[in-house]
Structure 1
Amino acid sequence: MSGSYGEGDPAIPELARRAHEAAERDGRGSYTDPATGYLVQCASALRQRGRCCGLGCRHCPFPREAQRAAGRAILRPLPPGF
């Protein structure tokens, strides 16, 4: 999903969230998005990079400040309670 808030975003579709959880549980660094068929990197694989790449990854584990510093183009306002 383009423009997610990163890992934990409540707007990530439930099927994608489940696929991510299964991939993380199984130790895989990515999963196939059930809706699009695209390969999506898991938060653990992104974390291993050591820094945010700024590309707007769905499961970006880095704080908004790091995402902004890396040049992430989409940083929507956080939803209440996020």
Structure 2
Amino acid sequence: MNDLLTLPWESTDDSSPIAARMAAWAAREVIEQRYEPGALLTEADLAEAQKASRTPAREAMLQLERWRLVRLVPKK
């Protein structure tokens, strides 16, 4: 029996929506501490890093907030 914890962002693959893939990528970046705690990550930064538009980046940021990996700050 495999008792390993499966993190929600580990269940995405190439067929997942772009917002889900962006959220998974950003979650790994946060967990692996590629961003300093308290660093500002904007949806524009996320969109640019993933070569996508801001709409899926916005959806990804909302998912990251639901996973409690980021705190959204209006107008930042």
- Normalising by structure 2, report the TM-score: 0.30
More strand, by proportion: 1
Q: Choose 1 or 2 for highest CA Rg.
A: 2
